[in-house]
Amino acid sequence: MEARLAEAESRNRLNNRVAVAVALISAFMAVTKIKDDNIVQAMLQAKSDAVDTWNEYQAKKLKLHLAELGLNQARALRPAVPPNEVKALAEQERSYAATIARYQTEGEAIKKKARGFEKQYDDLNFRDDQFDLSDALLSLSLAILAVTALTSNLWLFRFSLLFAGFGGVMGVAGLAGLSLHPDWLTKLLS
């Protein structure tokens, strides 16, 4: 009778530990999920801004090429222009040259801006990977804890804590902006 009572008490202690672990892991996952969702929204905005900026860059490049074409045509027409129209043609050439210089300057600034949005996206994706790994590892831990509750195996409880520990470390790295990032694992999973 005492042996059964001791076994029941042992099971009860293990189930209490499992319940506490599930509650802590779930709460931590809720916090990291909120942060991860915010990062994903920022990633979408950065990607959208990058695409819009590259489109703006392409539009400037097209306008630049049109201005270059206009300047080349004006120069080609110079020998055929009557003397009284030379001044107007020269003014048009200066206008094209100024437009070309402006588009070249603006184009470089827009290219730099687009690359900045791409870098922002990559930086955010780095942190998103951390949260994804955290979520996966903590989910595995919860699954193992469910089996632990059914089987009352202490070694399963300890095994689940390994996944929870690594998942917690990845979640904290994402929250704190740390550079912890197992590249081999993220490449394997993506």
**What's the pLDDT score for residue 133?**
95
pLDDT category, 1, cuts 50, 70, 90?
Answer: confident
pTM: 0.79
**What's the pLDDT score for residue 11?**
83
Q: At 182, phi and psi to the nearest 5? A: -75, 90
Q: What percent of the chain has pLDDT over 90?
A: 83
User: In angstroms, what CA-CA distances link 130 with 23, 91, 151?
Assistant: 21, 59, 32
**Residue 124 pLDDT greater than 80, yes or no:** yes
* CB-neighbour burial class of residue 163 (10 A; exposed 0-12, middle 13-18, buried 19+): buried
